[in-house]
Structure 1
Amino acid sequence: MITYGYARCSTDETKQNIDRQVRELKEMGASKENIYLEYESGTKVDRVELQKLLRVVEPGDTIVTTEVSRITRSTKQLCEIIEFVQDKQLKLILGAFVVDCSKGELDPMTEGMLKMMGVFAEMERNMISQRVKSGMQNAKAKGKTIGRPVVTSDDIPTIFLKHYPKYKNNQINVSEFARLCSMSRNTIYKYIRLIEE
């Protein structure tokens, strides 16, 4: 019987730190190699790492996550996960809340509480989304620019321009280019597009 951990943040590792979740999952019994990390919205249905996790679990295994909103922010998807946990006879631990389906049964009180937690997680997400939209409308009304600033070829850093000829002459690949510039590969690709357009 293996304990698997699942940690999720809505944005990538450059914007949100997932370490606290990983530390807590280890404290809950998941080893580092059995922790699945995801950088996706909790409402997205086809999350790659969650699907991988659901494919490897066996009857009697345990899935741990720090709270219900980490595994999903959709009530519908939570109901599907509950059904999956029952069918597979797993134990699901959401922070301090334990859902033990290792015998294939789930008592009505636990199921009801779990679904209520799902409703609150979804409601919290909708409230956050509403606040963000309201803030953006308010900023627009005040004449502020919303979103990322437009990057032009004038904004490309000198360090990129210094190493670009090496990339162009196939002396370095994109990964080496990114390392030399201390930038992500996505940023390197963005600057390459700007220069080559």
Structure 2
Amino acid sequence: MNKNKRVGYVRVSSMDQNTDRQLDGIETDKLFTDKASGKDTKRPQLQAALDYVREGDVLVVHSMDRLARNTEDLLRTVRELKERHVSVQFVKEGITFSGVQANPMDDLMMTMLGGFAQFERAIIRERQREGIELAKAKGVYKGRKPSLSPEQVSTLRQRAAGGEPKATIARDLGISRETLYQYLRQQEAA
């Protein structure tokens, strides 16, 4: 007998964010978790969840902005799931889009809520930029905390000067190659 499943999907924006609170207290049969920015198109666990769900299943997501990068992406993803007769439940919004029957009101509601969420994210980013500019003008903005300690930077530069592959150095230090190159450029500018 094929039992319908409740499949959870969780996405956090960074490695240090906690996933526990997103579907806390929500029962699921299987859970997929991505640690990636919403704007990132590479969300392997979302793709795995979409491949996993079957007709009659429910995909459970904390909120619309956790599932999609923008309104267009949200509408497409939910539409494709509904076409496969998979329901989508958004916990924060308290709404479920049925994979069994078409409901024009659901589609309208999803479009409006997705649009509001996208607008809200844009406003937050704009406020953040304004706050940083004000802090810079006051001389209190210090920027992002350095990824590496001074000792690690010294080691990085010695290894790079010794001809070791940059990708290997970056991987060993747990940084991106771009961050590695930024540290090397700082040395050249000094």
Q: Does the TM-score normalized on the shorter chain lie above 0.5?
A: yes
Shift of 1:188: 4.3
The CA deviation string for residues 102-152 of structure 1, in whole angstroms up to 9 with x for no partner, is: 2xx421111100111111111121111111111111122122332223745
- 1:153 aligned onto 2:150: yes
Q: How does 1:1-197 map to 2 (within 5 A)?
A: 1-12=4-15, 14=16, 16-24=17-25, 27=26, 29-31=27-29, 34-95=30-91, 96-102=94-100, 105-143=101-139, 144-149=141-146, 151=148, 153-154=150-151, 188-189=173-174
- 2:60 is paired with a residue whose SS is strand
- 1:19 is paired with a residue whose SS is coil
Shift of 1:77: 0.4
Q: Distance in 2 between matches of 1:17 and 1:111?
A: 31
Unaligned runs of 5+ in 1: 157-184
Structure with higher helix content: 1
Shift of 1:187: 7.8
Unaligned runs of 5+ in 2: 154-169
RMSD across aligned positions (CA):
2.8
The CA deviation string for residues 148-189 of structure 1, in whole angstroms up to 9 with x for no partner, is: 237453478xxxxxxxxxxxxxxxxxxxxxxxxxxxx97844
Question: Displaced runs of 4+ in structure 1, greater than 3 A?
Answer: 149-156, 185-190
AA partner of residue 9 (structure 1) = V
Aligned length: 158
Question: Structure 1 residues 119 and 188, CA, compared in 2 at 3 Å: closer, same or farther?
Answer: same
TM-score normalised by L of structure 2 = 0.72
Question: Structure 1 residues 44 and 154, CA, compared in 2 at 3 Å: closer, same or farther?
Answer: closer
- 2:80 is paired with a residue whose SS is helix
Asked if structure 2 preserves the Cα contact closer than 8 Å seen for 1:140 and 1:146, the reply is no
Question: Structure 1 residues 39 and 150, CA, compared in 2 at 3 Å: closer, same or farther?
Answer: closer
Q: Distance in 1 between matches of 2:127 and 2:172?
A: 29
